């Protein structure tokens, strides 16, 4: 209800934006169009009508894209998913080892260097870092394409098309990875330090186990429990996309689509999009609970 009220409370609606500045548009025409789009009712009435249609399985038709809301979501989300999924895998492969190394070498030069890199990644604004990559790698060196998902004026198919899309994804993925590694690395480091100071770790060392086995078999497995929570919570982000990064690199994903819908006051799409994210959040929480039993046998026993 609150989200619907906020969208309806915007200074202008979809009809007024589409008819603004166009010749021959009368007040009667605007009123008729608002009635056709269901914008003539009050906020409570409009919400009740929308909720009633949702109960029937009808999420409405997007004002901007002129298609059913979930068809638009299905068409756009896979570009965002593969972009975010590849970036997440790289983040895990980079951040977790760095976090372990930083924790096991606490207060050393290596620890300070890794922590500094993490803070730099966290502090960089995505639009600024993306613009730097575009300037250096796309405009100056011409190594990567500047924007888009495919090369213009080329009609690639099959494997060559996948390679072309992957080449266009390189810079956005770098942005995601560099900006995302820092928080995950610090999270891993903090939990690893906590586990390394536990009694069972001191007992394992006292029994004569090798440091490698102590860290990677005993300590790291217990560190996985909070990491699983973080990864499960990232599920909505895999599909929702990144509005700023997708906009800068002209990636036609769900984040960029949501930005356009917000700009034009596309109520059906925005409401369906947020319901989609809510469902993904619930699924992510369920996946986290299931993974707890995988990484911690005590959960299965209980």
Residue 108 has pLDDT above 70, yes or no: yes
Residue 132's pLDDT band (cuts 50, 70, 90): very high
In this structure, what token pair is assigned to residue 227?
């990491």
Q: In a 3-state reduction of DSSP, which class is residue 105?
A: coil
Distant-in-sequence, close-in-space partners of 250: CB < 8 Å, separation ≥ 6: 147, 148, 149, 256
The predicted pLDDT at position 131 comes to: 93
Which tens digits make up the pLDDT trace of 149-164? Answer: 888 777 788 888 889 9
Instruction: Specify the pTM.
Output: 0.84
CA distances to 16, 141, 179, 261 from 127, rounded to whole Å, are 30, 20, 11, 20
The predicted pLDDT at position 34 comes to: 86
Rounded to whole angstroms, how far apart are CA atoms 141 and 137? 5
Mean pLDDT, to the nearest integer, of 277-299? 78
Residue 299 has pLDDT above 80, yes or no: no
What are the sequence ranges of the domains in the chain?
Answer: 2-55, 71-301
The predicted pLDDT at position 154 comes to: 78
Rounded to whole angstroms, how far apart are CA atoms 269 and 255? 12
Rounded to whole angstroms, how far apart are CA atoms 51 and 3? 13
Burial category of 143 from C-beta neighbours within 10 Å (exposed 0-12, middle 13-18, buried 19 and up): exposed
Rounded to whole angstroms, how far apart are CA atoms 267 and 54? 13
Percent residues over pLDDT 90 in the chain: 28
Rounded to whole angstroms, how far apart are CA atoms 302 and 292? 12
In this structure, what token pair is assigned to residue 52?
């009633």
The predicted pLDDT at position 292 comes to: 74
- What is the tally of helices (H) and strands (E) in the chain? 16, 0
CATH 1.10.3720.10 fits 71-301, yes or no: yes
């Amino acid at each position: 209800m609150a989200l619907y009220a906020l969208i309806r409370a915007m200074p202008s609606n979809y009809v007024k934006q589409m008819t603004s500045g166009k010749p021959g548009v009368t007040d009667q025409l605007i009123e008729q169009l608002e009635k056709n789009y269901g914008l003539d009712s009050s906020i409570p009435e409009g919400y009740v009508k929308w909720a009633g249609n949702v109960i029937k399985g009808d999420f409405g038709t997007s004002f901007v894209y002129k298609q059913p809301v979930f068809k638009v979501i299905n068409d756009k989300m896979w570009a965002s998913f593969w972009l975010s999924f590849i970036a997440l895998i790289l983040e895990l492969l980079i951040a977790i080892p760095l976090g372990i190394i930083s924790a096991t070498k606490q207060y050393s030069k290596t620890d300070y260097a890794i922590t500094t890199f993490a803070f730099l990644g966290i502090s960089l604004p995505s639009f600024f870092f993306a613009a730097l990559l575009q300037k250096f790698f796309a405009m100056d060196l011409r190594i990567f394409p500047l924007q888009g998902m495919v090369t213009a004026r080329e009609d690639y198919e099959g494997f060559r098309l996948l390679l072309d899309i992957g080449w266009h994804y390189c810079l956005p993925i770098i942005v995601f990875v560099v900006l995302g590694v820092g928080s995950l690395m610090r999270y891993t480091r903090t939990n690893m330090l906590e586990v390394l100071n536990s009694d069972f770790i001191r007992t394992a060392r006292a029994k004569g186990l090798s440091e490698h086995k102590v860290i990677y078999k005993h300590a790291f497995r217990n560190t996985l429990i909070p990491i699983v929570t973080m990864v499960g919570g990232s599920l909505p982000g895999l599909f929702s996309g990144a509005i700023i990064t997708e906009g800068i690199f002209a990636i036609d994903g769900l984040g960029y689509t949501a930005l356009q819908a917000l700009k034009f006051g596309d109520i059906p799409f925005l409401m369906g999009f947020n319901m989609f994210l809510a469902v993904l959040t619930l699924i992510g929480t369920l996946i986290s609970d299931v993974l707890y039993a995988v990484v911690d046998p005590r959960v299965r026993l209980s």
